[in-house]
Amino acid sequence: MKPYAEVIGDPIAHSKSPAIHGFWLDALGIDAEYRAMRVSPDGLAAYFDSCRADPEWRGCNITIPHKQAALDLVEDRGGVRQSIGAVNTVIRAEDGALIGTNTDAGGFYSPIAGLDLEGRHAVVIGAGGAARAILFALSKVGIGRVTILNRNVLKAAALLSSFGMKGDAMPLGSPLPAADLLVNASVLGMDGQPSLDLDLSPLPEDAVVYDVVYAPLETRLLAQARARELDIVDGLEMLIGQAALAFELFFGVEPPRDRDEELRALLVK
C-alpha cells in the first residue's frame, strides 16, 4: 500500500482537499495518495486508533463536525486548544503520538503577508471558527484594533476578549469604520446562505477586502470591492494556503505554489 493522507468529516463529498493535494502529489511525482473519508462523530476515536496502527498513514485534515472533538483525542503539543480552539490537521510525531495542529491561521495570513498590519484597524464579519483563526493570526502580527460585526454580539465580544484585543463588537448592519482590512469570516454570501449587505464607502482607497467564502468565488462583497477598485483576496487563497501548510507536514516537501493559477482553474471547474 502507498503512503496516504486524507480529509475526514461528515459529510465529506463536497471537500476540495483531495483535488488540491492530488494536484500537488501529481505535480511533484510523489507516489502517495490523498483521499476523502467520511467519519461519523461516533467513529472518530476508532478512526484515530486505526491511524495509530497504520504505518502508511501520514496525517489527515479535519473538517465539520470534528474540529473541536479531535482536540480530546489527539495530543495538543502546540497549545491549539488555548489559541484557535480547533484542530484542522493531525500528523504523527516521531515518537508515534498523533498531534493536532491548525493551519487555518497561517493559510489566512499567507496571501496578505506583504501588508504591514501593525497598529492598523481590521473589521471581521463573523465570530465562528474561521473568525477565531483569523483573530489569532491578526493578534500575532500586532493589529491595532479589530471591529467584529456578528449576528450574536456577545459571542463577538467574547472572541475579542479571549485574544485581549482592542476593538468593538457590533451587530450586523452597523456602519463600517474606515478600516485598513475588511474580512468576511461568516457564512454570509455563501451559496445557499443569506447575502452580506455592506456599504463599503467608509473604507479608504488602500483598504484590502478579503472574503473567506469560496463558493461562489466572486461573492457580492468582492464584486463591490472590485467596483471600488480596492485590493481583494478570495476564499480560494486561504483554502490553498491552509492546504499547503498541511501538505508539507504530511509529505515533508513544499507544494509547487508557482502552479496556483492552474490549481485554481481546476478548483473552479
For ligand NAP, which is the closer residue by CB, 3 or 216?
A: 216
Among 145, 219, 242, 251, binds ligand NAP (CB under 6 A): 242
| Phi, psi dihedrals of residue 219, rounded to the nearest 5° | -80, 170
- Sheet with 89-92, edge to edge strand ranges: 33-38, 4-9, 57-62, 89-92, 98-101
Give least dist CB 97 to ligand NAP, A. Answer: 26
Beta bridge partners of 62: 8
Q: Is 267 in the site for ligand NAP (CB under 6 A)?
A: no
3-class SS at 44?
helix
Q: Count the Cβ atoms, other than its own, within 10 Å of residue 215.
A: 15
DSSP 3-state of 153: helix
Question: CA nearest 32: which of 1, 58, 2, 7?
Answer: 2
From the candidates 67, 140, 155, 269, which is the catalytic residue?
A: 67
Q: Which residue among 24, 136, 214, 251 contacts ligand NAP (CB under 6 A)? A: 214
d(CA 129, CA 106): 14
What CA–CA distance (Å, rounded) separates 187 from 192?
A: 9
Q: How far is the CB of 90 from ligand NAP (least distance, A)?
A: 17
In the chain, the DSSP E strands lie at 4-9, 33-38, 57-62, 89-92, 98-101, 121-125, 145-150, 167-171, 181-184, 208-211, 231-233
155/264 with CB nearer ligand NAP: 155
Interface with ligand NAP (CB under 6 A), residue from 35, 81, 140, 151: 151
Q: Residue 139, interface with ligand NAP (CB under 6 A)?
A: no
Provide the edge-to-edge strand list for the sheet that holds 208-211.
167-171, 145-150, 121-125, 181-184, 208-211, 231-233
| Residues in contact with ligand NAP, shown as a per-residue x/- string from 173 to 192 under the rule CB under 6 A | ------------xxxx-x--
The CB-nearest residue to ligand NAP is 128
**67 given a catalytic annotation:** yes
Q: Which is nearer to ligand NAP, 44 or 92 (CB)?
A: 44
Q: Which stretch binds ligand NAP (CB under 6 A): 41-49, 93-101, 148-156, 163-171?
A: 148-156
Q: Does 101 bind ligand NAP (CB under 6 A)?
A: no
Provide the binding-site residues for ligand NAP, judged by CB under 6 A. Answer: 104, 107, 126-131, 150-152, 155, 172, 185-188, 190, 194, 212-214, 235, 238-239, 242
Q: Active-site residues: which are they?
A: 67
